Amino acid sequence: MGSQTAIRKNNNVIPFPYEELIMIKKEMISRNPLNNLGFAGEDILPNGGLGAVLAHAGLGKTALLVQMALNTMFQEKPVLHVSLNDAVSKVDVWYRELFNDISEGNDPAEIAEFWEKIQIYRFIMTFRVEGFSVPKLEERLTDLMQQNIFKPHTMIIDGLKFDESGRGLLFQLKEMAKLFGMRIWFTVHTHRHEPPKEDGLPLSFLHVEDLFDVLVQLAAKGPKVYIKALKGQSPEAKKEALELEPSTMLIQD
Amino acid sequence: MKQDDQKIRNIGISAHIDSGKTTLSERILFYTKRIHAIHDVKGKDGVGATMDSMELEKERGITIASAATYCEWKGHEVNIIDTPGHVDFTIEVERSLRVLDGAILVLCSVGGVQSQSITVDQQMKRYKVPCIAFINKCDRSGANPFRVIGQLRAKLGHNAVAMQIPIGLENELQGVVDLVTMKAVYFDGASGEEVRVSDIPDHLLEEAKAKREELIDAASLFSDELTEAILEEQDIPAEMLYAAVRKGTLKREITPVYMGSAYKNKGVQPLLDGVTHLLPAPSEVENVALDMNNNEAPVALTSDPDKPIIALAFKLEDGQYGQLTYIRVYEGTVEKGATIVNVRNGKKIKVGRVVRMHADQMEDVDSLRAGYIGALFGIECASGDTFVSPGINMTMTSMYVPKPVISLAIVPKDNKSQMSMSKALNRFSKEDPTFKAYVDPETNETIIEGMGELHLDIYVERMKREYGAEVTTGNPRVAYRETITQRADFNYTHKKQTGGAGQFGRIAGYIEPISDAEFIFENEIFGGSIPTQYIPACEKGFRESMAKGPKLEFPITGVKVVINDGASHAVDSSDMAFQAAARGAFRDAYLRAKPVIHEPIMKVVVETPTEFQGPVMGLLNQRRGMIVGSQDEGVMSVVEAQVPLAEMFGFSTILRSSTQGKAQFTMEFAQYRQVPQSVAEKIAAEVAQNKKTAA
């Protein structure tokens, strides 16, 4: 276990049944969309790095990030999920449903037990959009860390409006990520009426694009959903889009 | 038919203690001509302590606090539903909030928003009850309704807007200016019963205009028509303004504020107008039933009086003529002589007397239609039961009753208390399916069981308050359970030879953990190594062993027993012998099956002012809590966590002291989970200690 392990485990330790999780873990690795797109490294993003999933409404931005969060939790690395749209209970349902879909076919009792064991690696924080600010988030986070309640390895911010929030906010977030030694993934809602540039990036995103290390995009063709890398791939990686299974957001078998 | 529904209001009056709820309720009954004289709450000599509402009621023989009181105001039928005085989360509170469609939040113009108002408001929010506010006691020195409006905004996050401004304040309070009609309203006559409308006094005209501007501004968000009228600088008719404010109120996005002094008979009638103008009719509120044929899937109800009946019994009262059952009809029409079915037990009931409660009398009616509240006589049921037309299988409350997670021994102080206590326990168990009471055969103590410390505290308090039963309580005990974690084989022989017929039985097989049942017994014996007639005895022996674990004596769950071999003796084998053999086999295998203790884990939700979010999380974390998340809602924050029940004793006191009394929490059972090793050792030590003291 690395230094990033959830502090929460404290004296409550229940041994992690690593072997039992291996099947699900293997599946998650072999069908992981980002690995398949040729993003290297266990964490994909470096410390202080920013990544984003861009898509129109309804394609599964949140689901993809939740799947990535689950993957991180499987590695016993704590994830802080910040939502500006949904209540804590709703975010929790996202995780449970996706987890159940991913682990479908395994013994329900064991699955329930796994869930108990990995959910300590997750912390949900929700804000009202208008009440969200970096100093506020930093204050909360410091609170959690000082009291040894939670120290995130990865943070997910769902629902931030990129066309409204300026570059300053993202810059502050990047600084905060560096300070706390974590990485942040965002969902970026792109608009259908806005034609993208040649490289696939929407115009409203250009002012902050350079702050990001990794960008991926979800797109629909008919009933199918595809994922494509826009930035941060290793040079030799495949460039074409890959099809995703909508229920798990893993690469289609 | 539909039109009638628009003229019904089912409302509650929610208030901080001492903000004048009793006086206001009484004035409402007086102005709606339900009672014919008003008395002061103060004692006759005008000095000394104020009487509480119970004594007041006793003296006057009225039932302000009956579960539902019916009155009429300007062609509207208003049911005032009593909201329980205690603000904690129990099924009783839940039910009374459920049958309300709207509420009046009473605040004191001097005290303003206090911590109890915060609690009351949070309950309203949880059940999405639209409300209007009444700032009472504007005659008191230091009254400042606009400060209270500021607090409504800042402390409760309400979008509060004044519907009125006061004419004079403190001892110069004369009346109010209605900002919708832009008229001054005065209250003449001995008891303020004559409402006199006249022009706004000159010195208030400017202020009234400004405040009306604010009101229109806030309301325009909810009505395009109103926005248009503003842009075109047209006159704004009262109906248009009411309609817009109403829209916002129903969504809980605006809180209209009325003001006055109930004690000085000022401002009550306009408040009643507000109730009829702004609070919802039953059909405007979404109500949901659960379809029992479809895995309790929620079904939206339509408030249609012609559909089959769905009604909820929300409160029982013992009267001189037997049990009075208060019901709210959600769909259909409950008629005298109709047959209804109690969904909980499938019993058919013929409806006898149907009544509506007034302040001091009851009125027989022929029927209660969808949206109405009334009472039935002589019906045997529990509070929370759903009544339906035959053939319907819907329920208003989930049939799932969680098992109690905590218990408490209670001892009555004297004989009189003993009698009252058993009466009270009988009633409470009827009211609340999660509350149980029994006598422990081993210790002869009366044990009450429930869903949390607070839950039991409330009932102990109610026993004293409502039934005069003084009891002393023991320490609360958590309902731990045991289970096994691996398979263990057994091959056990029970043999006794003490002269005469002996006892003989051998059982072999294994036990293993299961997750989806409490106990399963499987017989895999072929060839009759144990004769078939003894198999039930074997099962009984194993089943009995589940009641108490061999070491810690907690109930055992989640065990599958398989027997696959054994032996019997033609003379010495008997049911008794095989029961004993089964018990022995279980004891033997159980300890090898790595037993563990499971403890109840509670879902704890703390609502706290944001500045205390950090300390609250710290408190939960110290209690072996796993914080699921935090929700930032502006001035308030909600922290959700899973915490072992055993760690939650005394939490309310600690929470209060660490948040200046501004945070509150709810707690409900979530699941059983294995206790960590260190804690298991502590529990084992405690059990051993208790055994020692008992011996």
Residue A94 and residue A101: Cα distance in Å, rounded? 11
Residue B79 pLDDT > 90, yes or no?
no
The count of structural domains within chain A is 1
Pairwise CB contact (< 8 Å): A128 & B632:
yes
**Three-state DSSP state, A193:** coil
Q: In this structure, are strands A214-221 and A50-55 parallel, antiparallel, or unpaired?
A: parallel
Q: Give per-residue pLDDT as tens, B168-209.
A: 888 888 899 998 888 899 988 888 888 888 888 888 889 898
Which of A197-201, A235-239, B677-681 has the largest mean confidence?
B677-681
Residues A189-198 have a mean pLDDT of: 76
Residue B296 and residue B396: Cα distance in Å, rounded? 10
Residue B55 pLDDT > 60, yes or no?
no
Residue B433 and residue B414: Cα distance in Å, rounded? 28
b/e per residue, B477-494, with b = 16+ CB within 10 A? ebbbbbbbeeebbbebeb
Residue B50 pLDDT > 50, yes or no?
no
Total residue length of chain A: 253
Inter-residue contact B550 to B556 (CB < 8 Å): no
Tell me which chain B residue has its CA closest to the CA of residue A131.
Answer: B634
Residue B23 and residue B14: Cα distance in Å, rounded? 13
Supply angle C-alpha B108, B113, B114, rounded to 5: 100
Residue B23 and residue B31: Cα distance in Å, rounded? 12
- Residue-level pLDDT at B116: 64
Residue B532 and residue A181: Cα distance in Å, rounded? 68
Percent of chain B with pLDDT over 90: 18
Q: How many CB atoms lie within 10 A of CB A177?
A: 21
Residue B16 and residue B108: Cα distance in Å, rounded? 8
Average pLDDT, rounded, for chain A: 82
Q: Give per-residue pLDDT as tens, A111-133.
A: 888 888 889 999 999 988 777 88
Pairwise CB contact (< 8 Å): B632 & A127:
yes
Residue B572 pLDDT > 70, yes or no?
yes
CA B691 to chain CA centroid, Å, is: 37
Q: Give per-residue pLDDT as tens, A59-118.
A: 888 999 999 999 899 888 999 999 998 888 889 988 988 898 888 877 777 788 888 888
The two three-digit tokens of residue B285, written as one number: 């509120």
Please give the helix or strand (H or E) that residue B439 lies within, else none. Answer: strand B436-439
Pairwise CB contact (< 8 Å): A149 & B673:
no
Inter-residue contact B204 to B166 (CB < 8 Å): no
Residue B546 and residue B322: Cα distance in Å, rounded? 42
Residue B296 pLDDT > 70, yes or no?
yes
Q: In this structure, are strands B394-395 and B288-291 parallel, antiparallel, or unpaired?
A: antiparallel
Lowest mean pLDDT, pick from A28-32, B216-220, B262-266: A28-32
Q: Which of A14, A87, A131 sits opposite B634 (nearest CB)?
A: A131
Q: Give per-residue pLDDT as tens, B454-484.
A: 778 878 888 888 788 889 888 888 888 999 9
Residues B422-440 have a mean pLDDT of: 83
Query: What is the count of residue pairs from A and B with beta carbons less than 8 Å apart?
Result: 70
Q: What share of chain B is helix, strand, coil (3-state, %, to 5)?
A: 30, 35, 35
Q: Give per-residue pLDDT as tens, B479-495.
A: 889 999 889 999 999 99
* Residue A103 falls inside a structural domain: yes
Q: Which long-range contacts (CB under 8 A, 24 or more apart) does B179-187 make?
A: B179/B208, B179/B211, B179/B212, B179/B215, B180/B212, B180/B215, B180/B238, B180/B241, B180/B242, B181/B238, B182/B208, B182/B212, B185/B270, B187/B265, B187/B266, B187/B267, B187/B269
Inter-residue contact B81 to B278 (CB < 8 Å): no
Top-confidence residue, B295 or B656? B656
> Which residues are CB-neighbours of B26 under 8 A, at least 6 positions away?
B35, B38, B39, B64, B262
Nearest to B595 by CA among B474, B688, B492, B683: B683
Q: Calculate how close chain A gets to B161, using CA atoms only, in Å.
A: 22
**Which domains occur in chain B, in start order?**
2-284 (3.40.50.300), 288-395 (2.40.30.10), 406-475 (3.30.70.870), 486-593 (3.30.230.10), 600-679 (3.30.70.240)
b/e per residue, B228-238, with b = 16+ CB within 10 A? ebbeeeeebee
Residue A14 pLDDT > 50, yes or no?
no
- Residue-level pLDDT at B467: 84
Whether A135 has its CB under 8 Å from any CB of chain B: the answer is: no
- Cα–Cα distances in angstroms (integers) from residue B478 to residues B238, B475, B618, B670, in the given order: 59, 10, 23, 14
* Residue A175 falls inside a structural domain: yes
Supply angle C-alpha B45, B49, B53, rounded to 5: 100
Whether A1 has its CB under 8 Å from any CB of chain B: the answer is: no
- Give the single-character DSSP code of A206: G
Which of A164-173, A190-199, B158-167 has the largest mean confidence?
B158-167
Q: How many CB atoms lie within 10 A of CB B274?
A: 25
Inter-residue contact B195 to B290 (CB < 8 Å): no
Inter-residue contact B436 to B404 (CB < 8 Å): yes
Residue B257 and residue B145: Cα distance in Å, rounded? 9
Residues B404-412 have a mean pLDDT of: 86
* Residue A188 falls inside a structural domain: yes
Top-confidence residue, B114 or B177? B177
* Residue A1 falls inside a structural domain: no
- Residue-level pLDDT at B120: 73
Place of tokens 């999660």: B434
Q: Which of B621, B631, B673 sits opposite A88 (nearest CB)?
A: B631
Nearest to B165 by CA among B215, B224, B211, B231: B211
Inter-residue contact B329 to B289 (CB < 8 Å): no
> Which residues are CB-neighbours of B297 under 8 A, at least 6 positions away?
B290, B291
- Cα–Cα distances in angstroms (integers) from residue B618 to residues A119, A148, B217, B621, B641, in the given order: 19, 9, 42, 5, 11
The two three-digit tokens of residue B632, written as one number: 């930032």
Residue B118 and residue B155: Cα distance in Å, rounded? 8
- Residue-level pLDDT at B93: 65
* Residue A78 falls inside a structural domain: yes
B→A contacts (Cβ < 8 Å), by residue, are 515-516, 613-614, 617-618, 621, 624, 626-634, 638, 640, 673-674, 676, 678
Return the beta strands (E) in B573-645 as ranges.
Answer: 595-609, 626-633, 636-644
Top-confidence residue, A20 or B151? B151
Pairwise CB contact (< 8 Å): B515 & A108:
yes
Q: List the CATH number of the domain containing A23.
A: 3.40.50.300
Inter-residue contact B535 to B523 (CB < 8 Å): yes
Q: Give per-residue pLDDT as tens, B502-525.
A: 889 999 999 998 877 789 999 998
Pairwise CB contact (< 8 Å): B627 & A123:
yes
Nearest to A65 by CA among A47, A44, A81: A81
* Residue A251 falls inside a structural domain: no
For B121, phi then psi, to 5°, come to -65, -35
* Residue A249 falls inside a structural domain: no
What residues make up the domain containing A38?
7-244
* Residue A250 falls inside a structural domain: no
For B586, phi then psi, to 5°, come to -65, -45
Which of B603, B608, B617 would you mutate first to test chain A, the one with the most A CBs within 10 A? Answer: B617
Residue B284 and residue B291: Cα distance in Å, rounded? 21
Residue A152 pLDDT > 90, yes or no?
yes
Residue B69 and residue B85: Cα distance in Å, rounded? 16
